[in-house]
Amino acid sequence: MKTDFRIEHIDPIGQGVSKQEGIVTFVKKSLPNEVVTADVFSQKKGVQFARLIEVKTPSPERKTPDCPHFNECNGCDYQHTSYEKELEYKKNALQRHMFKFPEISITTHGAKRRLGYRNRLQLHYDKKRKVMGLMNYKQEIVPVPDCKIVDPSVAYELRALYAENNWLKVVEKETFKGHLELYSKDNNLGGHNVKVSLNRPYANGGFTQVNSEMNEKIRVFIQKKAEEIIPPKAVVYDLFGGNGNLTVKFRNPTLVVDKYRTTPSPSAHQKFFSLDLYDKGAIKSLIGLKATGYPRPDWLIIDPPRSGLKNLNEFLNEFKPDGFIFIACEATSFTRDTLGILGQYDLVSVDIFDLFPSTQHFETIGIFTRRKKND
């Protein structure tokens, strides 16, 4: 059903919100104060979702998206406005999630490149329907041969996969429906460093950050903070540490813990331990390390997947670290997991790093220190 909506504001995941006749409607890719025509495609629990058809009264903030797939593809959320506005919306989103926290100023670290940054891209395919791409609002696959957020080497390989439906040969021996991932470790032009992995959870033998430039910014930031607040001999546990990316240049003895063991960096101060940190027995397994001579942690670096770490308080109650750095790729899990521990820990700083420009996602980094007994 096509209807006109006046958009009031943007919600924390970048959707325009309209409230008309008591019904809340979410319209992606619209902006505050715009009047838009949109088609309602889903209704549940008193709210509805509508697909933008036409912008009747455009906002002065509106710009033409750089990517030709932006209107159809669900991968990006903010290319219809400036990067400054995108960062402002992201900061507002975090602020809204943090309304129960003591007031603290949030510092935003924007990216140099809003496009051409992703060093890997996961695409869905359906061999019967001969289609490969990203999902649209109806969870249908949309071809994205000219995706603009991938780096030049991935873009080159992406076009080669689409040319003459070459991807069909690549997935010849695979299931009818699945996913393939293009990934490049370094951003060389020409595509020869890009590889394809098929139907695996993480390409390239384990997790790697998608935005090399911003990952480096985060590493430098965490390193600098660690040198300021973590004493040199303090023991650090780098939980959900992947290949030890965040603590690779630490001076502290560090235990990197991750379920999926990846190629560790050759650093003398880091040791690696494979463990499912969501398992009920995870804390017990970490305590058990004492028997092997590994000391308990004084500080924790915690960088979980989107689902966060719901039982963060159990880790803190057991290890009572002097502090911890929490890195969250979902603002909702950042606030859910850390709000309950504010009686024991002070939130010292909050920073946003825009690791995923053009999309609704961003990284939130909070630094927490243990309260002294007489505080």
Ligand X SMILES: C[S@@+](CC[C@H](N)C(=O)[O-])C[C@H]1O[C@@H](n2cnc3c(N)ncnc32)[C@H](O)[C@@H]1O
Contact 250, 223 (CB under 8 A): yes
Contact 263, 244 (CB under 8 A): no
Task: Using CB under 6 A, pick the residue from 5, 83, 240, 326 that binds ligand X.
Answer: 240
- 241 interacts with ligand X by CB under 6 A: yes
State the nearest-atom distance from the C-beta of 204 to ligand X, in Å: 12
d(CA 127, CA 229): 53
Give the H or E element holding residue 3: strand 2-6
Task: Using CB under 6 A, pick the residue from 143, 178, 305, 323 that binds ligand X.
Answer: 305
Secondary structure class of 149 (helix, strand, coil): coil
For ligand X, which is the closer residue by CB, 142 or 246? Answer: 246
- 264 interacts with ligand X by CB under 6 A: no
Task: Say how far residue 310 (Cα) sits from the centre of its chain.
Answer: 17
State the nearest-atom distance from the C-beta of 199 to ligand X, in Å: 17
Query: Mask of contacts with ligand X, 192-231, x by CB under 6 A?
Result: ---------------x-x----------------------
d(CA 204, CA 185): 9
Query: Mask of contacts with ligand X, 274-303, x by CB under 6 A?
Result: --xxx------------------------x
Contact 3, 83 (CB under 8 A): no
Alpha helices in the chain (DSSP H): 83-97, 152-162, 167-170, 212-229, 282-288, 312-319, 331-339
- 324 interacts with ligand X by CB under 6 A: no
Task: Using CB under 6 A, pick the residue from 119, 245, 252, 338 that binds ligand X.
Answer: 245
- 326 interacts with ligand X by CB under 6 A: no
Residue 340 has, within 13 A of its CA and on its CB side, a CA count of 12
- 25 interacts with ligand X by CB under 6 A: no
State the nearest-atom distance from the C-beta of 256 to ligand X, in Å: 8
Interface residue list for ligand X (CB under 6 A)? 207, 209, 240-242, 245-246, 258-260, 276-278, 303-305, 329
